[in-house]
């Protein structure tokens, strides 16, 4: 198989030859109307899609597969279905159910909680009754339920147990993110020293109001060892904050996530997120039922790319890196860290811009869109 077009990161005209893996990406003469080529997009945080809640342990394998097929149409070829704070039994049941799904788009799992900040603000929409301190025995049970496939864990550094917990997970090959926290500067520094490398949806799930300084958002922005994840839906973040935060982090330490929930890709109405009732409003907000409190998003990754370019004035190559090689390297996703390089998995997206329009998606060399 050969795909020709403009490399979305380098700007070069290339022809990519592949089967399950990429064999070559050689220079070529592109036509004037050639599309862009990019590696498949990677989403580190997705709670559901197309009406399916990944936190529901009773979701059928067929429904989860259907949701993942719908995600492929947005250009995302690899994702981490995300399980949020719940009871120990519920979280393990959700992970056990997800681990039964055989779909090439699943690159592993993300546990967002339960070891997060318990206070209003930092906790976000997570149920307060199930927030609890880090426990390595509990993580071992969740990892066993997930068949060893938890690749990312979001933790609040404010717990006294957090540095030891983070170090143990990192030593076991799990990427650890700071998130849903009201931690102070010293606690954030201790988490990073222990091995945390990501800020989960920075700018969201934090105390409100925040002091001018010390300020946990500034502490994370100033920490060069932390990559930052952003929900670029035009709703979760103020435009000015997104522009400044992306500039502070720079192109190599910026990652886009959708934080999509079951309502994504669906009509306005009522849905579920774990044990929570959520509504999708007419203006595309996912909120706790009967409130205006955001609870995930209805964002598609192709739209997130367009939003990052428009709102934060990021060029196409930077926006593509934020959804491809940057997240792949962060979770050490083998075969996807080099970007259309020989030997990498043949995950490709063929698209045009203004606005972004996806024409074809390949997963392991097979056309799926």
The catalytic residues are: 259
Burial class (CB in 10 A: 0-12, 13-18, 19+), 42: buried
113-122: b (≥16 Cβ within 10 Å) or e: bbbbbbeeeb
CA distance 239 to 172: 37
Of 217, 226, 153, 230, nearest to 183 by C-alpha is 217
CA distance 286 to 258: 12
CA distance 74 to 314: 20
Residues 31 and 2: beta-carbon distance below 8 Å: no
Of 12, 74, 76, 71, nearest to 358 by C-alpha is 74
| Paired tokens of 165 | 């917990």
Residues 133 and 158: beta-carbon distance below 8 Å: no
Torsion of CA 23, 104, 298, 307, to 10 degrees: -10
Tokens 């995302």, residue? 76
CA distance 40 to 281: 30
CA distances from 87 to 61, 93, 115, 130 (A): 22, 10, 12, 6
CA distance 205 to 135: 22
| Paired tokens of 93 | 């049941």
CA distance 137 to 167: 14
Cα 207–Cα 211–Cα 212 angle in degrees, nearest 5? 135
CA distance 322 to 20: 24
């Amino acid at each position: 198989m050969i795909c020709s077009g403009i490399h979305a990161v380098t700007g070069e005209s290339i022809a990519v030859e592949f089967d399950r893996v990429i064999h070559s990406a050689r220079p070529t003469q592109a036509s004037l109307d050639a599309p862009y080529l990019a590696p498949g997009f990677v989403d580190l945080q997705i709670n559901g899609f197309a009406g399916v809640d990944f936190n529901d342990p009773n979701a059928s394998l067929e429904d989860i597969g259907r949701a993942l097929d719908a995600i492929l149409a947005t250009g995302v070829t690899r994702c981490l279905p995300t399980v949020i704070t719940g009871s120990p039994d519920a979280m393990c049941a959700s992970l056990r159910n997800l681990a039964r799904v055989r779909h090439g788009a699943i690159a592993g799992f993300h546990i967002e909680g339960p070891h997060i900040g318990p206070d209003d603000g930092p906790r976000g929409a997570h149920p307060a009754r199930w927030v609890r301190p880090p426990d390595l025995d509990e993580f071992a049970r969740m990892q066993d339920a997930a068949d060893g496939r938890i690749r990312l864990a979001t933790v609040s550094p404010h717990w006294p147990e957090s540095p030891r917990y983070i170090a143990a997970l990192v030593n076991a090959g799990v990427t650890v993110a700071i998130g849903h926290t009201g931690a102070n500067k010293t606690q954030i520094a201790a988490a990073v020293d222990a091995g945390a490398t990501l800020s989960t949806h920075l700018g969201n799930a934090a105390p409100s109001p925040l002091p001018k300084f010390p300020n946990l958002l500034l502490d994370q922005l100033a920490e060069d060892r932390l990559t930052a994840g952003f929900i670029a839906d035009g709703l979760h973040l103020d435009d000015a904050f997104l522009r400044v935060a992306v500039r502070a982090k720079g192109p190599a330490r910026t990652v886009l996530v959708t934080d999509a929930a079951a309502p994504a890709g669906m009509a306005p109405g009522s849905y579920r997120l774990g044990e929570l009732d959520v509504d999708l409003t007419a203006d595309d907000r996912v909120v706790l039922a009967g409130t205006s409190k955001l609870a995930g998003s209805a964002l598609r990754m192709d739209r997130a790319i367009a939003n990052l370019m428009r709102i934060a004035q990021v060029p196409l190559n930077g926006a593509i890196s934020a959804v491809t090689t940057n997240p792949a390297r962060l979770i050490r996703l083998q075969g996807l860290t080099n970007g259309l390089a020989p030997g990498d998995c043949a995950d490709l997206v063929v698209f045009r811009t203004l606005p972004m329009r996806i024409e074809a998606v390949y997963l392991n060399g097979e056309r799926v869109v």
